[in-house]
Homo-oligomer: A and B are copies of this chain.
Amino acid sequence: MIKKGLGTLYGVSVGTGDPELITVKGQRILQETSVIAFPMGVKNKQGLAEKIIDPWITPQQKKLPLHFPYLQDEQQLKQAWKEAAETVWQSLNQGINVAFACEGDVSLYSTFSYLAQTLKEDYPQVIIQTIPGVSSPMATASVLGIPLTLGSQTLAIIPALYNIAELDQVLSWAEVIVLLKVSSVYPQVWKKLEKLNLLDHAFIVERATQPSEKIYRNLTHYPNLNLSYFSLMIIYTKTG
């Protein structure tokens, strides 16, 4: 049963940093929506999503920063999602549309997915629409000026390596590997790539399309790198 006059929640993919990498549709929806939600930044600083959308919204629009803590504890995470869902629901239930600005693409490892899931559980009548966008693997390949994949190449995307042994299995199968959030395991990955003679087939981009973007095209001379959270590695496993 859909409540008459319920607002719609839009999950708007806003891309990786350059505000122009939002889609025309995403931009339109941001500009047509009166309440703009986004993940709150850390320590009162603007978060990435908020920075990206700043040129596209006006002071007349209501900003709704939502708290998504960086935690492993599932109970605490669920509590945060529930609170965020409750905040968003207050607008939706009054018939007010809400646009949630989501870094990268809304379908790929996004915080928005947890918000949407929680809302669906608590308020099954909720109306949600997502707008796809530029994901970090695509932005990274573009910044490097090389194709991510060609022809029949298989691609593996791994969001976080908890165990370096996992990488062996993937290396045996995929022709192109993308490691998101590689910073915490970088030295181990480097050693593995050294053994396999793949260091010059691996690339890292930090903060792709952001003003502070940094590119590493050959990892041979970088056994240790102090990488930021938004670092992505691409490995081409077929040499020669």
Are A107 and B173 neighbours in the complex by a CB distance under 8 Å? no
Chain A residues touching B, majority SS: mixed
Give complex CA distance A150, B77 in Å: 14
Whether A70 sits at the interface, judged by CB under 8 Å, is no
**Of the residues B23, B137, B147, contact of A113 by C-beta under 8 Å:** B147
Are B25 and A21 neighbours in the complex by a CB distance under 8 Å? yes
Residues of A170-214 contacting chain B, CB below 8 A: 170, 173-174, 209
Are B151 and A109 neighbours in the complex by a CB distance under 8 Å? yes
A150 to chain B, nearest CB (A): 6
Are B23 and A28 neighbours in the complex by a CB distance under 8 Å? no
Are A108 and B138 neighbours in the complex by a CB distance under 8 Å? yes
Are A145 and B128 neighbours in the complex by a CB distance under 8 Å? yes
A232 to chain B, nearest CB (A): 13
Are A151 and B159 neighbours in the complex by a CB distance under 8 Å? yes
Are B128 and A132 neighbours in the complex by a CB distance under 8 Å? no
When C-beta atoms are compared, the residue in chain B nearest to A173 turns out to be B169
Whether A106 sits at the interface, judged by CB under 8 Å, is yes
Whether A57 sits at the interface, judged by CB under 8 Å, is no
A132 to chain B, nearest CB (A): 4
8 contacts between A and B (CB under 8 A): A107-B148, A108-B155, A109-B150, A132-B134, A135-B135, A151-B159, A154-B156, A173-B173
Excluding A134-B134, A154-B170, 14 further A-B contacts by CB distance (< 8 Å) are: A20-B28, A21-B24, A22-B24, A105-B134, A108-B148, A110-B147, A113-B147, A132-B134, A132-B139, A132-B141, A132-B142, A152-B159, A154-B158, A154-B159
